[in-house]
Amino acid sequence: MSLTWRGSALLVLLCLIHIGATHAAAQTPRPIRQAVVGTAAATPELSTEELEQVLSAGSAVVLDARPYEEFAVGHIPGAVNVAPKAGVPMSMYVSDVAEIGRLVKGNTAGPLVLYCNGPHCGKSERLAGELLAAGYTNVRRYQLGMPVWRALGGVAQVELEGIAYALTNDRTTVIVDVREPADFKAGSLPQAVNIPRSLVVDAKDMGEVRRAKDDGRLPMNDHNTRVIVVGADAATARHVAGRIALEAFSNVGFYAGAVNDARARLTAKP
């Protein structure tokens, strides 16, 4: 075997190894928090990880492109919602671009992130198209939407109207009051159980949440059951909601106000 032939063979072998390695790298799935749907729409997509960074930094207006009723029963914390475009059938629902203009004070260059009900939901893509047509230049979509947000352990924020809807129309709803037992016993919302915030320290100390799974306070026979966490303030409610979501409950939300205020408003006569 000549030196030239050996050199050529070695070069071919190295090329094949490089091609194989490149192909393997291309086939390696992205970490789930970095995944996107990959639609062919004109606006770029954000991953869950990127959306979390946007929310943490407050670097964009995050728009929930769904009807207010859906927004109220559970939305990504920090997102906002606007009225629908008039004259559009429900099957082609789209938010009103004029309302968004008022929200952002006419700043068409400001960053916007849109989301709706997941990969097969067209609301955020339709809204993105209307925003581009109206001259908006910095529009992105979290096309994975609420289903994936929840699936990856994200909790939803629930509005007062969402609590009222759940208590009226979903009798399986579990309200988790995270105040101390004395405050809980003094009065809470209907269908409420008590999981004190002081006993739920962090993800490494899940004892009280797991005890709630064993003693029936949390619905172990249906992890899709709606769970709404309330407390004295948003921070304590959100903390416990996050711990419950880590126990594979997929429909967990928290109320950002005080439970006593919610109770007073829900029981007030019209």
What is residue 172's predicted lDDT score, i.e. its pLDDT?
Answer: 96
Whether 200 shows a pLDDT value over 50: the answer reads yes
Q: How confident is the model at residue 15 (pLDDT cuts 50, 70, 90)?
A: very low
pLDDT at 2: 44
The answer to whether 149 and 64 are in contact (CB under 8 A) is no
Are 72 and 159 a contacting pair, CB within 8 Å? Answer: yes
Which fold, 155-267? Oxidized Rhodanese; domain 1 (3.40.250)
Mean pLDDT (the chain) is 89
Q: b/e map of 91-128 (b: 16 or more CB within 10 Å)? A: eebbbbbeebbebeeeeeeebbbbbbbbeebbbbbbbb
Residue for token pair 């921070």:
235
List, for residues 88-126, the tens digit of each pLDDT value.
999 999 999 999 999 999 999 999 999 999 999 999 999
Query: 44 and 94 in contact (C-beta within 8 Å)?
Result: no
> What pLDDT was estimated at residue 39?
87
pLDDT grade for 202, boundaries at 50, 70 and 90: low
DSSP bridge partners of 113: 62, 140
CATH 3.40.250.10 domain extents, the chain: 34-150, 155-267
Identify the band that residue 164 occupies on the pLDDT scale cut at 50, 70 and 90: very high
CA distances from 255 to 6, 105, 160, 178, 212 (A): 71, 28, 7, 11, 20
* pLDDT tens, residue by residue, 28-87: 556 999 999 998 889 999 999 999 999 999 999 999 999 999 999 999 999 999 999 999
Domain spanning 34-150, CATH class: alpha beta
Q: Reply yes or no on whether the pLDDT at 236 is more than 60.
A: yes
What pLDDT sits at residue 26? Answer: 44
Q: Which amino acid is at 151?
A: A
What percent of the chain has a predicted confidence (pLDDT) above 70? 86
User: Where would I find the beta strands (DSSP E) of the chain?
Assistant: 61-64, 112-115, 139-141, 156-158, 174-177, 192-194, 227-231, 252-258
Q: Which residues contact 78 (CB under 8 A, 6 or more apart)?
A: 55, 58, 62, 157
Region 136-149: mean pLDDT is 98
Strand partners, 141: 45, 114
pTM for this entry: 0.86
